[in-house]
Amino acid sequence: MRRHFTLFSVVAHAVVITAALVSQELADGALPTPHQPVLFEAADFMPADIRLPAPPRRTEPGRTAQPESGPVSTDAAPTVEPTAVTPESDRGSAVPLPGSVGGVESGVGSGIDGIVSGNALPPPPPPVPPRPVRLHAGMTAPHKIVDVPPVYPPVAQRARIEGVVILEAVIDAAGRVASVRVLRSIALLDQAAVDAVTLWRFTPALLNGEPVPVVMTVTINFNLQNR
């Protein structure tokens, strides 16, 4: 049985190989070109420009190598072994300042926040006063405690001029009138209205319990019937 299987395998392989050869002979056209193997060529490396250090200078026995000439920094480390220990020079010594000991400035307080004697820091600038605000809800309005009536100018009385002058007054945090500006003008009555309002006094306006300057609108009525 085994011999028959081997014989059948040999015959089958022979038929397959024969069919492959016959198909190649009967095929039309040129055979495909086999792939060319990849050739690795040596790459041309760019030469590196590396400067080699100068060779050490040869010295004769019994002689010490001399350093190369050229500018040498005074702070550079020595390159030649010293033959002896020399005392330190006065180069870079601190210059004593007035009121100092050994070149160290004397101060008051710690080394961080101390003040050098003779160079005290200037005092801090005064705080910037708050800007006046207009009255609004949530504020305590000022109340007039000193009232000075305006003086009716005689020239305006003879000219039979009357009317309402409207002013804008700035009341500071202490209740004094800091400035007055005319909003609605009557030429002969403006100055009398300004002079009167300037002498008024108020209770301070309060915002969150703190006195603040405010801007108020004031009306002064000049009426000839009250004269």
41 is a domain residue: no
pLDDT score of 24 more than 90: no
Tell me the mean pLDDT in the region 165-177.
95
150 is a domain residue: yes
Q: What is the pLDDT of residue 82?
A: 77
144 is a domain residue: yes
**Closest listed residue to residue 166, CA positions, set 141, 134, 197:** 197
Task: Look at the chain and report how many structural domains it folds into.
Answer: 1
**Closest listed residue to residue 194, CA positions, set 208, 172, 177, 207:** 177
Tell me the mean pLDDT in the region 22-44.
61
Q: What is the pLDDT of residue 150?
A: 94
For the domain that residue 201 is a member of, what is the CATH number?
Answer: 3.30.2420.10
53 is a domain residue: no
Q: What is the pLDDT of residue 114?
A: 46
Cβ(154)–Cβ(220) under 8 Å? no
Express each pLDDT in 127-163 by its tens digit.
Answer: 887 889 998 888 999 999 999 999 999 999 999 999 9
> Mean of the per-residue pLDDT values for the chain?
77
Q: What is the pLDDT of residue 5?
A: 74
The domain in which residue 172 lies consists of 133-226
pLDDT score of 116 more than 80: no
Report the run of H or E that residue 85 belongs to, with start and end.
Answer: none
pLDDT score of 215 more than 70: yes
76 is a domain residue: no
Percent of the chain exceeding pLDDT 90 equals: 37
Q: What 8-state DSSP symbol labels residue 104?
A: B
47 is a domain residue: no
Express each pLDDT in 75-110 by its tens digit.
Answer: 777 777 778 887 776 655 555 555 555 544 444 444
211 is a domain residue: yes
pLDDT score of 205 more than 80: yes
pLDDT score of 35 more than 80: no
189 is a domain residue: yes
